[in-house]
């Protein structure tokens, strides 16, 4: 069966999830992003690759950082960018998601960047475009429910490759709220596809999916065991809004056991890098001394995120 993210020539048609995306495509995206990172140093940061194309940022859920980096990426490729904060507009009046899409298609959209609180919304839009013969329009998933956040997963892979060069000899630890994290799902899919031999997940049992080991990872019940000799530490944002339920005692308790401190990080390899998708809860998932320390690559992640999103959009817009 054809991968719904690829066209009949095997090129990227939509970016919906990293799960099932071929290694060759993930590598192609990372390779395409490399020259775009260097472009950030230039005085004129514009390329004409998407000139004349219209990119609609459809954000049904707030995210300043993701929306901004997509907007910068599209503008650097010379696209016309239209930002729609849909949570405050037509869908509140009862218009369905697909009605909104149909109306925007009538305005000659070329690409939709979609963030939605419901898992599967970007897939639904991509399917609808195919069913209605509009397969010249591309969809990029900018985060859907608890399901996936593929461009975050890709920029994380780019960051790892930048600092570690190879994937086949790494041990990577993902720490924290895996259960509610679409970022973690995308990271795990990408790391396993790229051949990382050991991916560990560390966190309280209440914040892990019940069958987490089926995702091809090793569960570690303590930070001490999980961080031992790792090359990369990927912290996850604690969904603060879920902190007060029965899942966790308190942010302070969480930090004591699962927060990343210099002392816990010392169990990792001396040249281990520390990553975080942001925004960080300092003193909950990560100590400020670590977040601002020499092993943290959290701000470079944001910079690489622009290049990776440029890569994805330029690949989609090339056919």
CATH number at residue 101: 3.40.50.1370
Do 231 and 296 fall into the same domain? yes
Do 273 and 154 fall into the same domain? yes
pTM of full prediction above 0.75: yes
Do 284 and 250 fall into the same domain? yes
279 labelled as ligand-binding?
A: yes
108 labelled as ligand-binding?
A: no
309 labelled as ligand-binding?
A: no
Do 64 and 134 fall into the same domain? yes
237 labelled as ligand-binding?
A: yes
Do 46 and 104 fall into the same domain? yes
Helix axes 150-164, 23-39, angle to 10 degrees: 70
Do 56 and 127 fall into the same domain? yes
Sheet bearing 273-275, strands edge to edge: 218-220, 198-202, 171-175, 232-235, 273-275
**Band of pLDDT at residue 88, cut at 50, 70 and 90:** low
Cα-atom radius of gyration of the chain, to the nearest Å? 19
Do 139 and 184 fall into the same domain? no
Domain of 45 in residue numbering reads as 23-148+304-317
Q: What is the pLDDT of residues 169-207, one digit of tens each?
A: 999 999 999 998 999 999 999 999 999 999 999 999 989
278 labelled as ligand-binding?
A: yes
Do 289 and 309 fall into the same domain? no
**Band of pLDDT at residue 62, cut at 50, 70 and 90:** confident
Nearest CA to 5 out of 181, 119, 178, 123 is that of 123
93 labelled as ligand-binding?
A: yes
pLDDT at 243 over 60: no
Sheet bearing 54-59, strands edge to edge: 80-85, 54-59, 111-116, 138-144
Do 143 and 176 fall into the same domain? no
Cα 199 to Cα 45, 216, 220: the distances in Å are 36, 8, 10
Do 167 and 274 fall into the same domain? yes
**Band of pLDDT at residue 228, cut at 50, 70 and 90:** very high
45 labelled as ligand-binding?
A: no
**Band of pLDDT at residue 64, cut at 50, 70 and 90:** confident
pLDDT at 115 over 70: yes
Tokens 């140093």 identify what position? 41
**What 8-state DSSP symbol labels residue 4?**
T
Burial classification of residue 271, based on how many CB atoms lie within 10 Å of its CB (0-12 exposed, 13-18 middle, 19 or more buried)? exposed
23 labelled as ligand-binding?
A: no
């Amino acid at each position: 069966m054809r991968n719904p993210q690829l066209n009949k020539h095997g090129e990227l048609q939509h970016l919906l999830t990293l799960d099932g995306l071929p290694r060759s495509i993930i590598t192609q995206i990372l390779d395409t992003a490399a020259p775009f990172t260097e472009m950030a140093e230039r005085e004129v940061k514009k390329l004409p690759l998407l000139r004349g194309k219209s990119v609609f940022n459809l954000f049904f859920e707030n995210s300043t950082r993701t929306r901004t980096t997509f907007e910068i990426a599209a503008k650097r490729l010379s696209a016309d960018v239209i930002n729609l904060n849909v949570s405050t507009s037509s869908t509140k009046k009862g218009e369905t998601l697909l009605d909104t899409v149909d109306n925007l298609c009538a305005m000659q959209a070329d690409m939709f960047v979609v963030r939605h609180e419901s898992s599967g919304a970007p897939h639904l839009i991509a399917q609808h475009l195919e069913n209605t013969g509009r397969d010249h329009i591309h969809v990029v998933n900018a985060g859907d429910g608890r399901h996936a956040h593929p461009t975050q997963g890709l920029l994380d892979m780019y960051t790892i490759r930048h600092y570690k060069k190879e994937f086949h000899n790494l041990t990577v630890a993902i720490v924290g709220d895996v259960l509610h994290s679409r970022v973690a799902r995308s990271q795990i899919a990408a790391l396993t596809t790229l051949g990382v031999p050991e991916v560990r997940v560390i966190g309280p049992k209440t914040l892990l999916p019940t069958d987490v080991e089926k995702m091809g990872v090793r569960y570690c019940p303590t930070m001490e065991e999980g961080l031992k000799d790792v090359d990369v530490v990927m912290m996850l944002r604690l969904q603060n809004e879920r902190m007060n339920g029965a899942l966790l005692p308190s942010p302070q308790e969480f930090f004591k056991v699962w927060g990343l401190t210099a002392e816990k990080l010392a169990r990792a390899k001396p040249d281990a890098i520390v990553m975080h998708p942001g925004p960080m809860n300092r003193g909950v998932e990560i100590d400020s001394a670590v977040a601002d320390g020499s092993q943290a690559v959290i701000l470079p992640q944001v910079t690489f995120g622009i290049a990776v999103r440029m890569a994805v959009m330029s690949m989609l817009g090339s056919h």
